[in-house]
């Protein structure tokens, strides 16, 4: 009889403004602006390649239904990041200097505004494969409204989902 392969979900890695595993500062992110989080070092030991991602934001003013915050993944081998925003390794929490800097990043999804209100969290999630050693999220605010100024209103998480043979 063949062995079964199960998912074995691990603890999430969080990108937050101050209390997460890595830093991303999304407070008051303006219209037509982006922010990239610090790159996480997944190390060289055996690890999951598949992750469940989840991103959330709250707006400062009521957004328009259908507008989006675009989400990307920036990766690196430790010396050559997908764009040159940030320090020489591109591994710090930094502003995206221009929309063109998103061209070599991996698009992972959109947070689509589903309610014309500044009150709720707007959330999206999905699954992504990350074989690279270093990676982190990049947000691009393609809406007509800035994000709220409250640090805990925004974030990104990656939950490793390694496969386990039973």
The per-residue pLDDT for 64 is: 96
User: Is residue 101 one of the residues assigned to a domain?
Assistant: yes
Number of domains into which the chain is organized? 1
Residue 78 lies in a domain: yes
Q: Give dist(CA 57, CA 76) in Å, integer.
A: 25
- Per the structure, the complete domain to which residue 103 belongs is given by 16-161
- Tell whether 87 is covered by a domain: yes
User: Do the beta carbons of residue 140 and residue 36 sit within 8 Å?
Assistant: no
Beta pairing class for 106-112 and 40-41 = unpaired
The region of weakest confidence among 62-71, 85-94, 95-104, 144-153 is 85-94
For a pLDDT cut of 70, what percent of the chain falls above it?
96
Whether residue 4 lies inside any domain: the answer is no
Residue 40 belongs to some domain of the structure:
yes
26: domain CATH number? 2.60.120
pLDDT at 19 over 90: no
Whether residue 74 contacts residue 55, with contact meaning beta carbons closer than 8 Å, is answered with no
In this structure, what is the dihedral angle of CA atoms 43, 9, 139, 36, given to the nearest 10 degrees? -20
Predicted TM-score of the model (pTM): 0.93
Is 7 a domain residue? Answer: no
**Is residue 83 a part of any domain in this protein?**
yes
């Amino acid at each position: 009889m063949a062995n079964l392969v199960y998912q074995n979900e691990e603890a999430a890695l969080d990108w937050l403004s101050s209390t997460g595993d890595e830093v991303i500062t999304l407070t008051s992110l303006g219209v037509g602006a982006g922010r990239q989080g610090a790159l996480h070092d997944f190390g060289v030991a055996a690890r999951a390649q598949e992750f469940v991602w989840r991103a959330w934001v709250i707006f400062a003013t009521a957004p328009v239904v259908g507008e989006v915050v675009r989400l990307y993944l920036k990766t690196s081998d430790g010396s050559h990041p997908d764009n040159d925003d940030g320090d020489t390794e591109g591994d710090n929490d930094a502003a995206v200097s221009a929309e063109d800097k998103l061209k070599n990043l991996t698009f992972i999804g959109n947070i689509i505004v589903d309610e014309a209100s500044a009150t709720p969290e707007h959330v999206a999630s999905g699954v992504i494969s990350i074989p690279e050693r270093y990676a982190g999220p990049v947000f691009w605010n393609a809406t007509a409204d800035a994000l709220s100024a409250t640090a805990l209103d925004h974030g990104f998480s990656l939950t490793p989902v390694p496969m386990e043979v039973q």
